[in-house]
Amino acid sequence: MQTMYKQLIVSVFCIGSLAYALPAAAIETVRMSIKDHTFQPAEITIPANTKVKLLIRNQDISPEEFESDALHREKLIPGQTERVIFIGPLDAGSYEFYGEFNPKTAKGRVIVK
């Protein structure tokens, strides 16, 4: 058990440092906000086969979880904070997303051209 914990800590640390070592390339940033439990804008268009940085600012007081099965992303965005989500590179098409905490109002899609 002892050695296992050590290995565990080491591997967690390795994953962490790997993330820091990754080069930060110039990536196009798309901004979006959450207001009154809706995404604004609810539809964004990005180029195909390109990685894009999605910067989402939650202007509500309550938290929201950005979730998309098509994009394979889920990220909690606490009230009045900003979070980053990288999406792509993707094939052309339409990818739906929604807010898990307010799925009726918070809906949107990413159009990839």
Partner 1 sequence: MLGSAVIIFREVLEAALIIGLILAVTRDIPGRTRFVFMGIAGGVGGAVLLALFGDWIAPLAEGMGVELLNASILLAAVVMLSWHLVWMKKHSYAISHHIKEMGSKIENGEQSISIIAFIIGLAILREGSEVVLFLFGLSAGGTSAISLLTGGLLGLFAGALAGVVVYFGLVRVPLASLFRLSGWLIMLLTAGLAAQASSFLVQADILPALGNQIWDTSQFLSEKSLLGQFLHILVGYVAQPMGIQLLVYLGTIGVILALMYLVANPPSQRVVATSAASLLLGFVFMFASDPARASHKIYSPHVDEGEAELEMRAHTTFDSNAGKNSNEKMKFEAGYGVNSKWFTSIGGEVADNANHRHEYQATYWENIFQLTEQGEYWVDVGAYLEYEVGHGAGSSDKIETKLLLEKSVGKYVNTANLVLVRQVGSNASNATNFEYAWRTKYIMSKRFEPGIEIYGEIGEVGHALPSAQQDHRIGPVMSGVLTSTHRGKWRYELGYLFGTSQAAPDGTLKFNLEYEFRL
Amino acid identity of residue 67, one-letter, is E
68-to-5, 62, 72, 111 alpha-carbon distances in Å: 34, 20, 6, 13
User: Which residues face 29 on adjacent strands?
Assistant: 53
Name residues contacting partner 1, limited to 47-86 (CB under 8 A): 49, 51, 60-63, 65, 69-70, 72-76, 78-79, 81, 83-86
Q: Which of 56, 51, 67, 59 is nearest to 102 (CA)?
A: 67
102-to-27, 39, 76, 80 alpha-carbon distances in Å: 30, 11, 13, 16
- Least Cβ distance, residue 79 to partner 1 (angstroms): 5
- Least Cβ distance, residue 30 to partner 1 (angstroms): 14
**For partner 1, which stretch binds (CB under 8 A), given 18-26, 28-36, 38-46?**
18-26
| Residue 15 touches partner 1, criterion: CB under 8 A | yes
Question: Given the rule CB under 8 A, which residues bind partner 1?
Answer: 1, 4, 8, 11-12, 15-16, 18-20, 22, 24, 49, 51, 60-63, 65, 69-70, 72-76, 78-79, 81, 83-86, 89-91, 100-101
